[in-house]
Structure 1
């Protein structure tokens, strides 16, 4: 991370599959591998996943990265691990946006949680099974402090 980014900064991340429109991620076996990779990275203190929602051809997440961890390298390694264990092919890059306020955080939580509803996959957000949160309270008003800070 650049030295001007404070420890524990939360990033809104979007990672897309190479083949858009095809359901690659919302398959139970694939989702299990993705969530296992998320937990593995968490135990290594590479990141703290506040919220992650899988969509058929992309994922959205709110993530804080560990001290001295390069976001690009951590995400590239995550994508590589998932690709080796599944048939998922990722786009080369990803989208990231640092959240600078509680309001921005709340807005992104709502956007992520409601995405399956907006896409017509479920009628209410709580019905969507492809959700991972390491906070225990994914809709809390502010970001949880990652355990490594």
Structure 2
């Protein structure tokens, strides 16, 4: 008899669709939520892996590396499925980083619908470290990556030091609620 919640991964995989050209919001977590990804060596591994993973067929738009998870926003190319992109990314980060931790099996993925705003998702992941109180609003987060800063209008509203205005925290709550409902 089961003693706790049982993973329903197989049911989730049944509905997985990899649509080339679609924009995906993906989250991958470390096993047991180990707080290791923002350690200098591991952060460097994540950054170089992002550059490699998204240098050919897939297009990375934004990413946020948190201590125990990574958010990615990207357009899927034609060669790999979403699951293969996630697997390739995880394997490469592990090869390049210290081996004292592992990834959680699978991850979260969401294909953006035509009615959803890619910019809202980018804003959501940009604000993630501030929402989690990892840094004060007056400090730029080193785990944020955006390939094309002109892609999202909200980035033009950053202060010269790369930090968001304090009022964005209130706006972020409405964006976060909208994204949580759609995912």
Which TM-score band (shorter chain)? Answer: 0.7 to 0.9
**Residues paired across the two proteins, number:** 137
Provide the residue aligned with 1:9 in structure 2.
22
Provide the residue aligned with 1:62 in structure 2.
73
Q: Unaligned stretches of 5+ in structure 1?
A: 142-149
Residues 1:19 and 1:106: Cα distance change in structure 2 (over 3 Å): same
What is the CA–CA distance in structure 2 between the aligned matches of 1:125 and 1:137, rounded to whole Å?
A: 22
Residues 1:138 and 1:58: Cα distance change in structure 2 (over 3 Å): farther
What is the CA–CA distance in structure 2 between the aligned matches of 1:112 and 1:131, rounded to whole Å?
A: 8
Residues 1:72 and 1:8: Cα distance change in structure 2 (over 3 Å): same
Name the Cα RMSD after superposition. Answer: 2.3
Query: Structure 2-normalised TM-score?
Result: 0.67
TM alignment of 1:18-37, pairs within 5 A:
18-20=31-33, 22-37=34-49
Question: CA-to-partner distance for each residue in 1:39-74, whole Å, 9 max, x for gaps?
Answer: 1112232x2110000111001110111113211112
Provide the residue aligned with 1:146 in structure 2.
none
How many Å apart are 1:102 and its aligned residue?
A: 6.5
Tell which structure's C-alpha radius of gyration is larger. 2
Higher helix share: 2
Residues 1:102 and 1:33: Cα distance change in structure 2 (over 3 Å): farther
Provide the residue aligned with 2:166 in structure 1.
none
Query: Structure 1-normalised TM-score?
Result: 0.80
2:50 alignment partner, one of 5, 15, 38:
38
Q: Is residue 61 of structure 2 the alignment partner of residue 50 of structure 1?
A: yes
How many Å apart are 1:121 and its aligned residue?
A: 1.2
